[in-house]
Structure 1
Amino acid sequence: MAIPHYAYLKMKMPGTKGIITVSGDYKKSAACAAASSRLAESLVIAAERKLLDRVVAMASKQPDLSPDPRESEPQGSFQPAKETKKIPLDPNHSEKFADIGAHLDSK
């Protein structure tokens, strides 16, 4: 039943003897926001650096080939059911289909 007000850094909630008001500290709030911003920025930079290192390594091995984006995708552990059937998605393109479980209802 608490009601936060982010602009004023206050939170109000009912108590046994009336309304309880909890006040925040603007300096700490600004410091936390700056620290979390720096952390997020460093994580993004680290991820981009890792991707760039991978691209550079691939380019140095094979200078005439562009990197395959499918190689950077992690392999999932999902395995389809053994009994599946192919449902065409587009009648004009036979290569476009979806695999669904063979025992699913037609609805």
Structure 2
Amino acid sequence: MAVPHYAYLKMKLLGPKGLIIVVGDYCKSLECAQAGAKLAESLVIAEEQRQLDRIVALANETPAVPALAKEPAGEASFQPSKETKKVKLKPEDPSCSKYVIVGTRLDNK
């Protein structure tokens, strides 16, 4: 049933004869925070180094570019239409030389 006040480095709790207040030391708190940050940074650097080592080891084991598996040509694969026609992108502009090729069996929509 303690109430910590981190900004003031105090902790208040009820005791057998009333309120107990534990007061912290700002200098010691700063030293602990710096030591904790240094430890956390070294742990992060060590973990990143382990991950890099693992990636390098995996890269050395497998080829740089994996061979792509060829999909069998069947009903599911894309087949271009044999019956196509060129359609001008801007029919109202006679100087436009851009075309698109569409299938002749498409609806007018």
Question: Partner amino acid for 1:8?
Answer: Y
Structure 2: gaps (5+ residues)? 67-109
Give the structure-1-normalised TM-score: 0.54
Query: Which residue of structure 1 aligns with residue 49 of structure 2?
Result: 49
Structure with higher strand content: 1
For residue 12 of structure 1, what is the aligned residue in structure 2?
A: 12
What residue in structure 2 maps to residue 26 of structure 1? 26
Bigger-Rg structure (1/2): 2
Q: CA deviation at 1:63?
A: 4.6
C-alpha separation in 1, matches of 2:26 and 2:60:
50
Q: Which runs of 5+ in 1 are unaligned?
A: 67-107
- Cα distance in 2 for partners of 1:6, 1:27 equals 14
In structure 2, the CA distance between the partners of 1:44 and 1:18, relative to structure 1 (3 Å rule), is same
For 2:26 and 2:65, the matched residues in 1 are separated by: 53
Aligned residue pair count: 66
RMSD of aligned alpha carbons: 1.8
TM-score (ref. length: structure 2):
0.53
Mapped to 2, the partners of 1:53 and 1:24 lie a distance apart of 43
CA distance in 2, matches of 1:42, 1:2: 33
Higher helix share: 1
